[in-house]
Amino acid sequence: MPLPGCFDYRLPPGAPAPARGCRVEVPFGRRTLVGLVHDHQPSELKQLKTVKRVLDEEPVIDPALYALCERAARYYHHPLGEVLNFVLPALLRQGQPARAGGEVRWRLTDRGHHVAPDRLARAPRQLQAMEILAEHPRGLTPAMLEALSVSRPALQALRNKEWVERVEVAETPPPEVDEVRAEPALRANAEQRAAIEAITGAEGFQPFLLDGVTGSGKTEVYLQAMAPVLAAGKQVLVLVPEIGLTPQTLRRFRQRFAVPVTVLHSGLTDRERLDAWVAAREGHARILIGTRSAVFTPLARPGLIIVDEAHDASLKQQDGFRYHARDLASWRAQQLAVPVVHGSATPALETLQLARDGRYHWLRLRQRAGGAGAPPIELLDARDATPDRPLLPTALKAISETLGRGEQALVFLNRRGFAPVILCRDCGWQDECPRCDSLMTWHRSEHQLRCHHCGHQHRVPQRCGQCGSTNLTDAGAGTEKLESLLAEHGDAPVVRIDRDTTRRKGSLDAKLAQIQKGEPAVLVGTQMLAKGHHFPRLSLAVIMNMDAGFLSADFRGPEQAAQLLLQVAGRSGRQDRPGRVLMQSRHGDHNLVRLAAAGDYHALADALLAERRAAALPPFGHLALLRCEAMAMGQALAFLEECATQLPEVEGAHVLGPVPAPMEKRAGRYRAQLLLQSANRPALHGLLDALMPLARSLPSGRRCRWHLDVDPIDL
Ligand code: ADP
Ligand code: ZN
Ligand code: ZN
């Protein structure tokens, strides 16, 4: 369990008091740790340990950012220390100086310059490295060396011989630019212009919902709203979903503006992350694009915050510190007194309701910018599909026609693997994960069955696990099966994009590049394909198996299904080219499926909001979930039951449960949950204020793993 609260230390005699947010080195038990100053006050306590060293003159977490962390810690009932720890780049946590690192370069040493080539006759890779370095007296960065295919082990060997050295060259900050615009803006249409004027006209904090159908030119609105902010010397923070951070997105920002663009995402090295943080803090980085944790980037001169694809679930962190970057972006904008734009083609119901209530300024883009109208979604009755023929004849015919016209088609199926289950024809047995309440997915090319929840895998069984029959078969289809069926169906290449085919670094880029070339091809993919990418030659999308989402018991299921469906449909027919979208469904007469297929997200949202209001679910009610897992269901339930019975009554707040979680067993542990609900936030937070110390104090909680999730996105 994390330790909530702070620890007290004495300052070394005569030392000036460091400000809140500065780092100090302190003794802790037998170790020395890096801590952050929270507060100081005179104390009479005698036994305090003394701070060893003050590491910063200026706070590494500035007052505004510190205040955001405090608010988030209170709201999510998460220890402040853990929040700060999460926010600080790793190198700062380790006590490194809060400044940008120099650039690393490899070069020949004086001795290296005088080595005769024949001494390396038996080490051709080392010889090659020496020759390349000899041509570059200023040295080469690791990236340049990689581009020149210089072998790393060879370099190390040469370094050991002291013929090559690795030096750090101080990096100068990028020069100030006078002209921020590199490329002219497009001519905005009337709706875009209205949106741009509203955003650029905002003074101080103002939240906007930019509600524009796919292809309506939201990015163009962002770019034109950013221009005056950048021209005034200020910074723009842009949050994007994990998967939307494509090279294409980046290119659009880099091409438009002649200012430094800094990228923050989970793939950075610790050094790169610190450098980006410092560049933002010192104001050298002018455009910051990052995934959810970028909302905590310090900003020297903030001017505008943009949340792109603001409905995207990846903005909510799902472990540890479970914050929602969408909500934090608005808090941050409020605190920094700058406008914030939430952009989406399918806004979250929470955001939509804020716009309806007039609390967010609602900007709408109803038309596609390029001219081609949004494609209609044609429903195909999937009750005729079979496990061996998951694609209906109409869909196959449409694919052939598309390829025949020299265009590309997409088949969307949000399920990887070959088939989602292996079962016995004689007795109906299904191969289940021994550690989870879930079925094993067949990955045919790897000859494995794999659990997508815990990673457990075993070989494909030869016999039924119940009756011993060898009459086994598979049911349903995953992307791997579609890939092989489509490869048999025609002779255009089939490009499969899912987590299995893109595991290796660079493989996703290679596949995307192949599609960008524009030659006829069929793309098969999961939701990895749904967002961010532009496929100019794609004119058909076939959507499979979205029924489960629309019929889901999870109250967010239909909303998420509709968002995903419209996102995928929006991939088809961009740039003047009318597209076609087919959706295979077994429930074409279901009201929500019909509304989604009609492309009418707002009508669907109205229907869902009415249901949510009736059930006091978000955004009309507020939820928190206390989740618990243990080696036995009884233990998990007992802990939650104790919490429930010992909680004080809070007027207007309700405790529901405990109940077993929708997936009762996962990775060998049993899971249960307690739902806390209220129509009013302060009441809910009053209840949570009582719950957290109680849960921490209960001995039964030590036999479980538990956490609190405020505003959970799955129940
Ligand atoms: P969204 O982000 O809303 O899905 P994009 O910003 O990607 O839409 O724009 C879709 C396409 O329309 C892009 O190719 C973009 O260059 C083009 N576009 C956007 N605005 C305009 C405009 N005002 N005039 C012409 N083309 C535009
Ligand atoms: Zn059997
Ligand atoms: Zn499992």
191, 214, 219, 238, best to mutate for ligand 1 pocket (most atoms within 8 Å of CB): 219
Per-residue pLDDT band at 372 (split at 50, 70, 90): low
What confidence score (pLDDT) does residue 143 get? 72
Dist CA 710 CA 715 (whole Å): 11
Dist CA 577 CA 516 (whole Å): 16
| Other beta carbons less than 10 A from residue 337's beta carbon | 11
183, 189, 220, best to mutate for ligand 1 pocket (most atoms within 8 Å of CB): 220
Dist CA 525 CA 511 (whole Å): 11
Nearest CA to ligand 1 atom 14: 575
pLDDT tens profile 677-708: 999 999 999 999 999 999 999 999 998 999 99
Cβ atoms of residues 213 and 365 within 8 Å: yes
Average pLDDT over residues 294-317: 95
For ligand 1, is residue 218 a contact (CB within 6 Å)?
yes
Please determine, for residue 1, whether its predicted confidence score (pLDDT) is greater than 80: no
Using alpha carbons only, how large is the chain's radius of gyration in Å? Answer: 28
For ligand 1, is residue 216 a contact (CB within 6 Å)?
yes
- CA torsion, ordered 283, 284, 289, 292, to nearest 10 deg: -50
Per-residue pLDDT band at 173 (split at 50, 70, 90): low
For ligand 1, is residue 184 a contact (CB within 6 Å)?
no
Please determine, for residue 371, whether its predicted confidence score (pLDDT) is greater than 70: no
Q: Which residue has the higher pLDDT, 6 or 397?
A: 397
What confidence score (pLDDT) does residue 246 get? 66
Dist CA 324 CA 39 (whole Å): 27
Dist CA 237 CA 68 (whole Å): 15
Please determine, for residue 264, whether its predicted confidence score (pLDDT) is greater than 60: yes
Token pair for residue 84?
Answer: 């700060």
For ligand 1, is residue 220 a contact (CB within 6 Å)?
yes
Which ligand is nearest the CA of 217, by number? Answer: 1
Return the ligand 1 atom nearest residue 570 CA.
Answer: 4
Query: Which residue do the tokens 């085919």 mark?
Result: 501
DSSP string, 548-576: HHHH-SSTTHHHHHHHHHHHHHTTSS-TT
CA 73 to centroid of ligand 3, rounded, Å? 33
What confidence score (pLDDT) does residue 503 get? 85
Which ligand is nearest the CA of 216, by number? Answer: 1
- Cα of first residue to Cα of last residue in the chain, in angstroms, is 23
Please determine, for residue 174, whether its predicted confidence score (pLDDT) is greater than 70: no
Dist CA 474 CA 169 (whole Å): 60
DSSP-assigned beta bridge partners for residue 422: 474
For ligand 1, is residue 344 a contact (CB within 6 Å)?
no
DSSP 8-state assignment for residue 493: -
CA 448 to centroid of ligand 3, rounded, Å? 14
At 645 the three-state DSSP class reads helix
What confidence score (pLDDT) does residue 512 get? 86
For ligand 1, is residue 635 a contact (CB within 6 Å)?
no
At 472 the three-state DSSP class reads strand
At 357 the three-state DSSP class reads coil
ipTM: 0.96
CA 301 to centroid of ligand 1, rounded, Å? 29
Nearest CA to ligand 1 atom 20: 217
